[in-house]
Amino acid sequence: MTTMIKIALIQMCATPDVEANMATTLRQVTSAAEQGAKIVFLPEAFAFIGPDREKRLILESLADTADVARPILEKCQEIASQHGIHLVLGGFHEVSDDPERSYNTCVHLGTDGAILARYRKMHLFDVELADGTFLKESKRTLAGSLPVITDTPFGCLGLTICYDVRFPNLYQKLVDMGAIALSVPSAFTATTGAAHWHTLLRARAIESQCYVIAAAQYGNHHGRRYSYGHSLVVDPWGEIIAEAATDDAVLIADIDPARVQQVRSELPSLQHRRALN
């Protein structure tokens, strides 16, 4: 059985200023490593939240092409290898073949900076809320099509992003693939966050009997774009074991694979599922 592993979640308020965002990322990841974290989780869109026309200028490929500049990815790889940590890039702006749209991709980097897994966000956030919030992610983002798991020092991790959390069938699939923890990096809007954030994350943990690890954005990014914050770690029983507020934060928690085994043994609901026609 894998032993308990210390993790860290980075909470930040990304803006259109990539240089400033990456400086915050470096500072917080360094702090996490100094506190003993073996795996560090970044929130969705850690490098940039701003106008689409500006995002087009900072898109990068995840393909290993030596003649293409990838300053954001390379800086993240450098950070991971420098500190000897696993680094999960919660939402990376990945270029696609479509000139109008990119991928929102979660990337797992190993201790040497190598890409170990990548997951493209499957569910895209298209909403118009009563408070005036209007977001149409599908206009500039392509949806992924495949669930993804990856190996970490504590065991199997299922990768998801933000709006995915409203679709429990994805999380059940990740459990079937072997996940004992689920990553939900997010830039949840302030309105939907206040209403649903804690409930959704606890529900996914309880029904999946997994740890849920949700590194979040907070605050005013630009214009009328606000995120809720409250990065969370929820254990397989649905208890919140770590939570940030609404400011920059390095949230530390321990992941214990034995706790997953205990909960699944005592309340074997995953074994009681029945196929529905």
Active site residue 156: no
> What 8-state DSSP symbol labels residue 269?
G
The residue annotated as part of the active site, out of 44, 76, 94, 106, is 44
Active site residue 121: yes
Tell me which of 106, 156, 162, 210 is the catalytic residue.
162
Q: Which of 55, 121, 156, 210 is catalytic?
A: 121
- For the stretch 51-80, what's the b/e string if a residue is b when 16 or more beta carbons lie within 10 angstroms of its beta carbon? eeeebeebbbebeeeeeeebebbebbbebb
Beta strands in the chain (DSSP E): 5-11, 39-41, 86-94, 102-109, 115-120, 126-128, 134-136, 141-142, 148-152, 155-159, 181-183, 211-214, 218-222, 225-228, 232-234, 240-243, 249-255
Give the type of residue at 229. Answer: G
| Residue 136 falls in the annotated catalytic set | no
Distance of alpha carbon 106 from alpha carbon 45, whole angstroms? 9
For residues 167 and 193, is the Cβ–Cβ distance under 8 A? no
- Rg over alpha carbons for the chain, rounded to the nearest Å, is 18
Q: Are 115 and 83 in contact (CB under 8 A)?
A: no
Angle at 123 (CA atoms; ends 118, 128), nearest 5 degrees: 135
163 neighbors 143 (Cβ within 8 angstroms): no
- ∠ CA 139-22-7 to the nearest 5 degrees? 95
Q: Which residues pair with 135 in a beta bridge?
A: 127
DSSP SS3 for 225: strand
- The residues annotated as belonging to the active site are 44, 121, 162
